[in-house]
Structure 1
Amino acid sequence: MVKVGIVGGTGYTGVELLRLLAQHPEVKLTAITSRKEAGTPVADMYPNLRGRVDLAFCTPDDARLTDCDVVFFATPHGVAMAQARELLAAGVRVIDLAADFRLKDTATFEKWYGMPHSCPDILKEAVYGLPEINRDKIKSARVIGLPGCYPTSVQLGYAPLFAGGRKLVDPKHLIADAKSGASGAGRKGETSLILAETADNFKAYGVKGHRHHPEIKQGLEAIAGYDVDLTFVPHLLPTIRGIHSTLYATILPEARDTDFQALFETYYAGEPFVDVLPTGSMPETRWVRASNYVRMAVHRPNDGDTLVILVVEDNLVKGASGQGVQCMNLMFGLPENMGLTHIPVLP
């Protein structure tokens, strides 16, 4: 059994981790921390876990995290890097759902997250936790920086076009038009996220620049092996869960005869959580709700030079906690899909 601790379990990604790990046949939940809620039974805060999780929240000092095999950080940015060194010294592996170990350039991290990086040496060894791209590295990693929810959908949507240095589309004029449900902002009280502001409404944000842009760029360039750039515009959907990314790319003249449907199907053949849909499909966010699946469709409107890739995922599962469990399975030699084969919830 893998002994698991969770730091910061009161948010949406924390409760998703608990939901997934409580059903995992090879996991023993040993600690979950919250300074504010210390002493409160987890099931009192999240009644959906009644009868499945009998832990109470405790302070980090009382959690004995160094006795765990792996610790998940479902915390604000900056927390994981403050505790990672002690855990690693005790032989504990670290999976961070925040941004502490995503961006390899510390100056870029400091620009977008407004804090100095306290352990650049650990950042250097951290592995970006996108299994479809970094599966072998994840298996031997001590530290995982999980991708953001938007970057997961965008990178997986574009990856087949760039893998192995392919040059099929213009790498400098990519457009990612992405939308997320309100849970992507976390469990917090902000006027912009209350029901009266989000319901019956739809809006863009971060158009001048968003912290996920450098992460997406870094990831695509690692896949391609050459410079890539894109316009990334996120939007807030009037829903709780789900991401829908509409990705655009201009096909290069020498690639006009490419069968892109076959390219995507071949690239993702055998992947347990990426489903390339039949030609002409229009994926919906509810097709993946509460699941670890990504579903995508490839379109070429009017047989022209524009490629459109539609990608849907659940931002709290494949976009966060489920992907973390997927990485954990790889790190401990377990079947990659263990504890993650839930059928999406519909309607």
Structure 2
Amino acid sequence: MASFSIAANRIYSRPFLKEEAKRSKLKPAPAAGLDRMYVAASVASTPPSLRLAGQSRVKPQKDVRIAVLGASGYTGSEIVRLLANHPNFGITVMTADRKAGQSIGTVFPHLSTQDLPNMVAIADADFSEVDAVFCCLPHGTTQDIIKGLPKSLKIVDLSADFRLRDISEYEEWYGQPHRAPELQEEAVYGLTEVLREDIRNARLVANPGCYPTSIQIPLVPLVKENIIKPLNIIIDAKSGVSGAGRGAKEANLYTEIAEGIHSYGITRHRHVPEIEQGLSDAAKSKITVSFTPHLMPMSRGMQSTIYVEMSPGVTIDDLYRQLKVSYEDEEFVKLLPAGVVPHTRHVRGSNYCLMNVFPDRIPGRAIIISVIDNLVKGASGQALQNLNLMMGFPEITGLHYLPLFP
């Protein structure tokens, strides 16, 4: 649903926020300066053919100037796609060292309709006309780059470089020493629905990994309320191949991935300490999990099937009620009706997390299923949620893309 007003021969529309519904049935017009159509949809932007007759094509002025570092990767391109419908954020700088000098449309033809600056090498980027940065670079390269950015910039880092508070744990799992420990002390972990107020006041946010997002969203409320035991948590997670990045790797070739399931990182996947850090914070005691990820022959999508042991006297209905209470006012986290199974195809291209809880055949145990799009809620969509908060905008701004189906 959207609110509309007509002024100066222009039509304005924007998302109808839940809090507005509670206040009034009459919707105010959006702020001046939004001179394009903005609708909740699965398309990137309003094509010229749909603009009002006689309206000159004027590029709207955006309040916040954005740099996307690593725009030629999957998460970088997804940021560009999502920002196409953002009324306040406009891209002024894009970097891609190996693609420097090229337009985003030459690298990603699906983005060729966007009027954006050419990509440049990071060393040549001018940050004087930038207010905030999405850093979509590989882990291990991000620390030095962020350390060299102006301190005035708000930064959301989509790599793993600032997710682990303990820098010795980072060295253990990523095989290299942390090169910006002073920034690690400043970084705030960006699981939006759980740490919203911390994120709002942060300068540097470490965006969560895709697997940890799909796992922590359902588990944190249950762990925090002690209605599941902090022992014997088993997580069987599956991801589309885009989760492995865009770099050329033999293991990710079509013939290696198609018509099968590829287990990897068994007992040593780098997301394990991130998952355990978040769950241990919720429990206020150390939690260790058993986690096995798998690549599936699909482009995007992620499912985490989680097996837990309920606390004495707790029932499946108690778990369901706790999840319902925890997320009933959240825009992007949805608990499905009892008995309905979440599927990855129902979140594709969107920022939603769908989940549900089921009784196991083993008495006292429960099965939780959580699904997200690994590139949106698992990466770029959550990053946009976080930057919205950091810049003082409603966190759902620019994220009303409905899932693509079929």
Q: Under TM normalisation by the shorter chain, which class is it? A: over 0.9
1:119 maps onto 2:180 in alignment: yes
**Displacement of 1:61:** 2.6
**Displacement of 1:21:** 1.1
Of the three residues 139, 148, 168, the one matched with 2:227 is: 168
Using the TM superposition, name which of 35-44 and 138-147 deviates more. Answer: 35-44
Match of 1:207 in 2: 266
Structure 1 consecutive aligned stretches of length 4 or more whose deviation exceeds 4 Å: none
1:1-347 alignment to 2 at 5 Å?
1-89=63-151, 91-163=152-224, 166-256=225-315, 259-302=318-361, 304-347=363-406
8 Å CA contact retained: 1:65, 1:71: no
Q: Which structure: larger Rg?
A: 2
Q: 1:258 and 1:298, CA in 2 relative to 1: closer, same or farther beyond 3 A? A: closer
Q: 1:252 and 1:123, CA in 2 relative to 1: closer, same or farther beyond 3 A? A: same
DSSP 3-state at the match of 2:94: strand
Using the TM superposition, name which of 252-261 and 139-148 deviates more. Answer: 252-261
Using the TM superposition, name which of 47-56 and 150-159 deviates more. Answer: 47-56
Q: Which structure shows the higher helix fraction? A: 1
Structure 1, residues 73-121: CA drift from partner, whole Å, max 9, x if none? 11111222112233242x0111110011100111111111122111111
Using the TM superposition, name which of 213-222 and 166-175 deviates more. Answer: 166-175
The count of corresponding residues between Structure 1 and Structure 2 is 344
8 Å CA contact retained: 2:267, 2:290: no
Structure 1, residues 276-322: CA drift from partner, whole Å, max 9, x if none? 00100111101000100000011113583111110000000000001
In 2, the alpha carbon distance for the partners of 1:117 and 1:52 equals 37
DSSP 3-state at the match of 2:98: coil
In 2, the alpha carbon distance for the partners of 1:35 and 1:199 equals 31
DSSP 3-state at the match of 1:253: coil
Question: Which amino acid in structure 2 is aligned with residue 77 of structure 1?
Answer: H
Q: 1:84 and 1:66, CA in 2 relative to 1: closer, same or farther beyond 3 A? A: farther
8 Å CA contact retained: 2:223, 2:229: no
DSSP 3-state at the match of 1:196: helix
Question: Which amino acid in structure 2 is aligned with residue 80 of structure 1?
Answer: T
Q: Percent identity?
A: 41
DSSP 3-state at the match of 2:357: strand
8 Å CA contact retained: 1:157, 1:247: no
For structure 1, which runs of at least 5 residues remain unmatched after alignment?
none
Question: Which amino acid in structure 1 is aligned with residue 171 of structure 2?
Answer: E
In 1, the alpha carbon distance for the partners of 2:385 and 2:75 equals 14
In 1, the alpha carbon distance for the partners of 2:287 and 2:404 equals 36
In 1, the alpha carbon distance for the partners of 2:176 and 2:285 equals 29
8 Å CA contact retained: 1:300, 1:307: yes
**Displacement of 1:257:** 7.8
Superposition TM-score, scaled by structure 1 size: 0.96
